[in-house]
Chains A and B, each alone.
Chain A
Amino acid sequence: MTKALVSLFLTLSTLLLTGCPAPGEHQTITIKGSDTMVQLGQRWAELYMQKHPEVTIQVTAGGSGNGIAALIDGTTQICQASRPMKDTEKESLKTKRSLAAVETPVALDALAVYVNKDNAIKSLTMDQIAKIFLGETTDWKDVGGTPGNIVLYGRENSSGTYVYFKEHVLSNKDFPSKYQALPGTGAVVDAVSKDKGGIGYGGIGYATDIKTVPITKDAGSAPIDPTMANVLSGTYPISRQLFWYTAGPPEGPVKAFQDWVLGPEGQKVVSEKGFYPLKGE
C-alpha cells in the first residue's frame, strides 16, 4: 500500500517535471474562437508549422464569444471572430488586462441562403428572406416556388453567424418559435440537403449538395450569386469580414504568423477553404 503510494507519487512528480517545456526557441501560439473560421485557422496553422517547425499552433473552436472571452481572460493569444467585438467586451479587456483590442480583418465571408437541390425557386429578395425567417411567409408558393411548407433551419443563438443573420437580414427582429437551431453549419447543410422544404443559412464554404439562392437586394435589381467577384465588389448583400483579435498589437511569433496569413500564401488558403481573400486574387 505504502509502496504503491510512494511509487505513484514518484511517477506523478516525474511526469510533472518532464512535462515542463524546456527553455529554448520553441514557441507556442494559441488560437480560439469562431466555429465558422476553425477550419481556416487549422489549415493556416498546418501550413505555417510545416514551414516553421519551431512553432506550435493550437487552434480551437467554441464560437466567437468564447474566443473573445478567452482573449479577455488571457487564455488565448489570437481570437478568431466572425463578428466585430462589442464595446463592452473591449472595455472588459481594458479593465482586466489593461490592453487594447487590436482588430485585423483576415478574410471575407458571404452568408449563403441554402435550399434543397430540388427546390424550384430561382431567387429571393432580401425582404422575402426576412419574411421567411420571421415566420411570416410559411409556404413556398408565396415566394414563387412549388407549394409546400417552409422549414426553417439555422444556428443556435451562441453562434456569430446567428447574430450576424439576425442583425443584418432580420433587422434584429426575433426568429419564430418554429425556427430550428442546429449545432453547427454542417448540421444545417445536412438538414437542408435532406429536407425538400428546408431553408437555412451559413458560410458559403459549407455549401455542398444543396442550392445557394441568388439574392436580390430590392424588387427592381437583378439577383446576385454569392460568388467571389460579387462579394469583393460588395454587391452581394449578405457578406461580412472575418477578424483576428489580439490583446495589444501582435508581437514576435504571433506577428510573424499574422503577417504570413495576410500575405499571398495565407490568402490563398482563404479561397481554398471557400472564403474570400481580402484583395481578390
Chain B
Amino acid sequence: MRSSDAIPELLRVSEMTNRHLKRREFLDRAAETLIIAFASIAIAIILLIFVYVGREAMPLLWENTDGASVASTITPPVAWQPVSVNPRYNVIPLILGTLKVTLIAMLIGTPLALAAALYTSEFAPARLREWIKPAIELLAGIPSVVMGFFALIVLATWLQTTFGLEFRLNALNAGIALALAVIPIIYTVSEDALTAVPSHYREASLALGASKIQTAVRVVFPAAMPGIGAAMILGFGRAIGETMIVLMASGNAAYMSLSPLVMTRTLSATIAAELGEVVFGGGHYRILFFLGSLLFVVTSVLNWIGDRYNRRMRRRLFGTE
C-alpha cells in the first residue's frame, strides 16, 4: 500500500465509524423512547383505571340513588341487603369480614413464610435451597380459582369433620387458603432481604462466638427487618384484594361476628359476585364501584409503604438505593 493512498483510506474508515456511531446513537435513543413510551402507557393505564373506577363511584358524594349514598355505607341497620325492596348498603360487615379473613391469612402465612425464608437463606445447603425456593415460588403460580376450589371441596370438609364445626364454609377456611396465596409473596421478598444482608455481618457475629442460630435470629434478621416489613405489607395487600379464594371458600354471608368459625363476606368477593347483574348507573352499581375505589386506595397505599421500606433497607445496608 502506498502512503498517498493511506489518507483517503483513513478518512473512509473514520467516515464509516462515524456513520456506525451515529446509527448506534440513533438506535439507543429510539429504544429509550420506546421504553419510556411503554412505561408511560402502563402508568397511564393504572391512572385511567383509577379515574374510571372513581368516576363511577363519584356521584354518591352528592346524590342519593335508590337509597345509596356515601352516608348509606355506614348508617344502621348494619346489614348488606343490596337486592331488596328496601335496599341497605351498610359495608361494615364486609369490611369486618375482609379484615377477619386477611388477619387469619397473615397469622398463618407470616410465621411459615418467614421461617422458611430464614431457613433457606441461613441454614439450607445450597443444593437444597435451589429446590425449595422455586418450589415455594411455584405456589404463587397456582391460579387462585384452583386454590379456592381446593378450599371449597377438600379443606372445608377436612376442617368440619376434624374440628366438628357448625359451618362448613367460614373465615378460617378462607383464611387458610388465602395464606397459601400470601406465603410465596412474603417468602420471596423476605428471602431476598435476608440474602441481601452482607456476609461480613455474619462473619463478624460468628467471629465473636455467636452460634449460627444466634447470628440468624439476632443479627441477620434484624438487619433485614425493613425488607421483612415490606414483605408483610405486600402480603397483606395481596390478601386484602384476593377475590376468587374468598368468593369460593368463605360462605359469602354478610354476617356480623368476630368469630373465625362462621361464614363471612369480603369486599372483593362482594364486587365479584354482584357486579354481573347490577343495573348500570344504579345505586347498587355505584356502591360496588365505591368499594372498588376503597380497595384500590388501600392496596396502592400498602404497596407504596412496602416499597419505601424496601428502599430504606437498601440504604441501611449499602448506603444507596
* A181–B276 CB distance below 8 A: no
* A195–B168 CB distance below 8 A: yes
A181 vs B263: C-alpha distance in the bound complex, in angstroms? 10
Contact string against B for A residues 103-114, beta-carbon threshold 8 Å, 1 for contact and 0 otherwise: 000000000000
A190 vs B152: C-alpha distance in the bound complex, in angstroms? 9
Shortest Cβ distance from B148 into A: residue: A183
Task: Pick the 5 closest A-B CB pairs, nearest first.
Answer: A158-B277, A65-B277, A157-B83, A156-B273, A180-B251
Contact string against B for A residues 198-211, beta-carbon threshold 8 Å, 1 for contact and 0 otherwise: 10000000000000
* A63–B255 CB distance below 8 A: no
Contact string against B for A residues 169-185, beta-carbon threshold 8 Å, 1 for contact and 0 otherwise: 00010100111111100
* B276–A65 CB distance below 8 A: yes
* A177–B93 CB distance below 8 A: yes
Question: B210 CB to closest chain A CB, in angstroms?
Answer: 52
- B276 in complex: contacting residue of A66, A174, A177, A191, CB < 8 Å: A66
* A157–B82 CB distance below 8 A: yes
Contact string against B for A residues 128-162, beta-carbon threshold 8 Å, 1 for contact and 0 otherwise: 00000000000000000000010100001111001
Q: Which residues of B contact A177 (CB under 8 A)?
A: 79-80, 93, 253-256
* B252–A174 CB distance below 8 A: no
Q: Is A1 an interface residue (CB 8 A)?
A: yes
A182 vs B249: C-alpha distance in the bound complex, in angstroms? 9
A88 vs B282: C-alpha distance in the bound complex, in angstroms? 13
A183 vs B272: C-alpha distance in the bound complex, in angstroms? 10
* B31–A1 CB distance below 8 A: yes
* B273–A63 CB distance below 8 A: no
15 contacts between A and B (CB under 8 A): A149-B166, A151-B166, A151-B167, A151-B168, A156-B273, A158-B273, A158-B277, A163-B83, A166-B83, A177-B79, A179-B253, A180-B263, A190-B153, A197-B166, A198-B168
Q: Which residues of B contact A191 (CB under 8 A)?
A: 168-169
* B248–A187 CB distance below 8 A: yes
Q: Is A62 an interface residue (CB 8 A)?
A: yes
Q: Is B14 an interface residue (CB 8 A)?
A: no
Q: Is A194 an interface residue (CB 8 A)?
A: yes
A182 vs B94: C-alpha distance in the bound complex, in angstroms? 16
